[in-house]
Structure 1
């Protein structure tokens, strides 16, 4: 949270609405010293204090947090590209972007939107990957069990063709969507990760 930007905005709103520091403190139910320290950026305020002070001016916490965020396109690009770790291990493609999202979600503009969209996309396709692998393994076991125990080379070939084909499609989709959204972030456009299930709202 950028205390300086927050303090400057609070002071601007207070003066614009003709509140003294004492009146603002009383209306919000905080101490005068809290208002003074916040306006002078002497301390990082608690989120509850920020909400109480800015609600007086009809502002939501989301609107307030927007003033405290910095622009960092490099971080957004790096976070987006971190999804490519999916190629090594699908679960890492969820975990790494999630860690990067959580560590900067209130500090950098655009991280929350990108993080939510990227993690939902990665979760969706990690789930598809593991379900597909499980289904293919079950299918091979079924044919092996239902026959006389011998597995023909044609069956193995078809199994590998189907399994590898499905995984190849998933990897291709991952690489395409991450590359597309890297381009969109670089151009300052909104990210679009599709198709995905919105596990995290």
Structure 2
């Protein structure tokens, strides 16, 4: 298994900065930073270019027994049911401004995903459902407009009523789903939003 710390150790052993390694290997600085942080695993050309620049074999990039996998231990994640509830209810921000139902949960999710237990999974579920809801609303509005265009000029006076009906129904559905999942979250269930992206 690939070890990011072995690349860092070899680079420092050779006295290279990340910039020098990027120049010598032909790999972008951003890629080297991501590899060293363990955000990506180098493959093919990138792996060979790094090995050549560091004058090392690819086998030296493998993880040894004493090198633990860099990860956030579960013991470091603290339970915080109030934050989970806040993350779920933050999707209601669409009532103030469209798209806030995606932006606010993403900000909260990314801020605490390595600190609070179950935030990573719940954040994915909340954001996935809200994206699906936004896409669904868009296509419903598009369908209503298309039906009125195909229907001719006699039905154009009902277009505003149709759009308002879609608005109220979709908003009511989203509020209902968020509140239902808030109730389930309060009971300790974490398997929320089964329909999502």
Shared topology, TM-score over 0.5? yes
Residue in structure 2 matched with residue 163 of structure 1 by the alignment = 163
How many angstroms apart in 2 are the aligned matches of 1:108 and 1:120? 19
So what's the TM-score if we normalise by structure 2? Answer: 0.59
Deviations 1:91-131 (A, max 9, x none): 11111101110111111001111100000000001111122
Contact conserved, 1:181 with 1:191, CA < 8 A, in 2? no
Distance in 2, Cα, partners of 1:123 & 1:177: 14
Measured against aligned partners, the alpha-carbon deviations of 1:129-175 in whole angstroms (never above 9, x if no partner) come to 122223323443444xx5xxxx44x5422x33433333323212211
TM-score (norm: length of structure 1): 0.58
Report the number of matched residues: 142
Distance 2:163 2:194 in 1: 23
Gapped regions of structure 2 (runs ≥ 5) = 10-35, 39-63
Unaligned runs of 5+ in 1: 1-27, 32-45, 49-54
Q: CA RMSD in A?
A: 3.1
Return the offset for 1:58. 11
Residue aligning to 2:138: 130
Q: Mean alpha-carbon deviation: is it higher for 125-134 or for 104-113?
A: 125-134
Deviating more after overlay: 66-75 vs 132-141: 132-141
Structure 1 CA distance for aligned equivalents of residues 79 and 128 of structure 2: 23
Instruction: Measure the CA separation in 2 of the matches of 1:161 and 1:57.
Output: 67
